[in-house]
Every structure is written in structure tokens, then in C-alpha cells.
Amino acid sequence: MSDFKLGLEYAKQLDAADDLSHYRKQFHIPTDTNGKELIYLCGNSLGLQPKSTKAYLDQELEDWANLGVEGHTHAQNPWMPYHEFLTEATAKIVGAKPIEVVTMNSLTANLHFMMASFYKPTKERYKILIESDAFPSDKYAVESQLRHHGYDDKEGLILWKPRPNEELLRYEDLEDILKAHGQEIALIMIGGVNYYTGQFFDFKRISTLGHQYGCKVGFDCAHGAGNVDLDLHNSGADFAIWCTYKYLNSGPGNLSGCFVHERHAYDKNLNRFTGWWSHNKDTRFNMRQEFDVLPGAEGWQMSNPPILAMAAIRASLDIFNEVGMEKLIAKSKKLTGYFEFLLKQLGEDVVRIITPQNPDERGCQLSIQVLDADKTVFNKLTDTGVISDWREPDVIRCAPVPLYNSFEDVYHMVEKLKMILND
């Protein structure tokens, strides 16, 4: 946006006019040794803790203490169906129908479960396409799937690469790859928002293109859930996964989410790994029934849910449900646009933003290259009280999160960076 202004007073005016500014008080903001709040711009790695989380956890601890096993049916929030308490809010956040989502397992485990169903290699069609700078865990996972099925993990992997001297991926190049290799590709698996550049991909365009060539299409939305408008149902993707501990603020290493498109909901012949929690709820505890898979994403569950972990997720989801993604995304675009405006004042010969300039092609993260600098700049920035994120070889990732970051946060971060560069 070109109508932003310079100066601290303007940042304060933006905060005063922000309808969501009061939500910051609902989160624990880390402080330095003197008790001063740090500038926390690292929600793309770990979201901050909602102050309500403790009460949600305490409720389950109290019910466990007082009820023991009876808590499965008699807890204030009965444990047996507890994962269902997360479904509606999760579906709204990722743009899905309730039947299409479930919360379970960890992120890379869920990727493997999805590939067990949607990566079905044949002699002619066995290759997997990913972006060349995919998040390492995704790359390791798909390589291991190739090896598991007896294929060479280098020959069977096709990389969607940026052009020389560019960081962002072009759809024309993806189209060219599919024209040349589409009949060999069994699965397209893309990080929905690239962890390094912050590029937010067009899910519908990729899904439509992949399906034209007979490929299955999935997305890792770890950097997208709670950050951008994923619109998973309308994208047509076969599956998606995401974590809950980044923008969804559920706590370190917490559970993952899964999306399986509604068109697969009643396909009982679709190969999958199963367990008793994917069995028909009405007969699950008869214990000796032949397996009868649940419809929808719930049919990919294996085990009964970890209640304490889910309680922390529920605390955060209730905030999201109250605010709504539409308002969050609107503030996010303004907050990150203001951040971009301030960084550009430093000069493009000093700072380069590799994240797309189009707000619809990114989330809140900006990936910043300080030209002719190394990690010492990041270390100095940390010493001034800015919590951001370094990624080799030369990128500082900063994510002003609309739920708890302020325009003043962004202003002070850029001022501190300017001070370091002028030192």
C-alpha cells in the first residue's frame, strides 16, 4: 500500500484504529530479563501461548484426577468424542467441510498416512513432484516413500525449481514439467506456503493441472493454516496436512491436522493404515467386529486422541472461532504491507525481500536478505530484543502475526535493524 506513513506516532495510530488490537492481551508475550516485552515475530515457527490455555488444560487435569477412566464419558468435556470439539473451528480455518478434517498424530506422520492412501505407484507412473526447496521433512518423507516402494529416491523425485537468479517458483515451469513428465508422476506434494520464501501457492491451479495429468495432489499447509485463506475444499486437492503449533498457537510439537477431500469420504476401498479409532463409532467397543471404516477424514485416525494436547488446541481454536479468518487475513495484509513499506525505506541496495510483493501470494511472513551480510546481523537483532528466525544461507524470516503483533512491533523492529546496519 502506498498510503502508509513514517514515524512512531503513525504506528500508534494504526494500532489505535485496529479492531483486533485487544487480542494481544489474550497472549503471553515473552519478556527480557528486565521484564520488558520482546518483539516476537516468530509465530511461523512457534505461536505464542493463549492465556486461556492453562484453564483448558486444568479442566482436563481436574477431571482426570476426580473421575479417572469415567472422564471418557463424564468429564465436563467428555474425552471419548473430544477430537470432535475441534472439527467445526478447524474446518472454518482451512476452508473445508467438517467431514473433510480431523486432528491427529504429528505432521510428518500424517504425511506418510496420506501417502499410504494417495501415492499409488505403478511401473509407468511412480514419480513424485515437489518444490526444489521443500521443507526438509517433506523431502525426506517422499524420498523414503520412493525407497519403500522399491524406487530410486533421486531418479523418482522431480523438482519444481526457480529459474536462475530467482527465488520464487513460476507456474509456467510447473506446466512444462507436467507436459514432459505428467504421465510418470503419481503424486504432486507441495508446501502450500513455502517455509523459506513465504510464497503462497495457488492450490486450485496446481490441483486442476495435476488432475489433468492423472496425478494425485496434496499440500503441506504447516505455514498456511491460520495464516492464509487455504480454501481447501474448493481447491480440489486430494489431501492436505498442517501443524497446529505455528499460527494455530497450540504449543510446541502439538498435533497435526488432516484434510481429505469429500469425494474420497465414502471410498472404503481406498488403501489406508487403520486402527480402532477409524472404526465405526457405533460398534467400536464391540471389539470383535470386522473393520468398518468411518466416512471422511475421521477414517484415517488410528488411536484415541491425546486429551491434554487437544485441550491446548481447543483453547486457541476458540479464539480463532471468535475472530474469524476473514478479519485476521485483512489485518495480516495491512500489517505485513506496513512492514514491507518500512523495510523498503532502508533501500533495496541494503535489504531485499524475497517474499512475493502481491499480498494474495503470501501470508504474514516476509523473508529478508540483508545484502553482503551474514548471521551476525541476525544475532545482533536478537540481542536488541527481536525474536525472529534465521534460515541458511542468508535469510531472516519475520512473521508479524495479526492475533498478537502490533504495528508498533513492526515499527520498532525496522528501527532496530536500521540501527544495526548503520552501526
Does residue 272 carry a pLDDT above 80? yes
Cell 486437492 maps to which residue?
237
Q: Output 77-80 pairs: Cβ under 8 A, ≥24 positions apart.
A: 77/311, 77/314, 79/304, 79/305, 79/307
Element (H, E) at 409: helix 407-422
What pLDDT does 287 receive?
A: 83
Taking domain 81-321, whether its CATH number is 3.30.1330.40 is answered by no
Write out pLDDT tens, residues 337-391. Answer: 999 999 999 999 999 999 999 999 999 999 999 988 889 999 999 999 999 999 9
Written as nine digits, the cell of 64 is 482426570
Look up residue 27 and give its amino acid: F
Q: How far apart are CA 314 and CA 67, in angstroms?
A: 21
The answer to whether the beta carbons of residues 226 and 248 sit under 8 Å apart is yes
The string of DSSP letters for 74-126 reads HSSS-STTGGGGGHHHHHHHHT--GGGEEEES-HHHHHHHHHHHH----SSS-
What is the average pLDDT value for the chain, to the nearest integer?
A: 96
Domain residue extents for the chain: 8-49+325-422, 81-321
Write out pLDDT tens, residues 218-242. Answer: 999 999 999 999 999 999 999 999 9
The string of DSSP letters for 343-390 reads HHTT-TTTEEE-S-SSGGGB-S-EEEEETT--HHHHHHHHHTTEE-EE
Tell me which residue of 224, 170, 219 sits closest to 195, measured CA to CA.
224
Q: Which residues contact 154 (CB under 8 A, 6 or more apart)?
A: none
Write out pLDDT tens, residues 4-61. Answer: 999 999 999 999 999 999 999 999 999 999 999 999 999 999 999 999 999 999 999 9
CATH code of the region 8-49+325-422: 3.90.1150.10
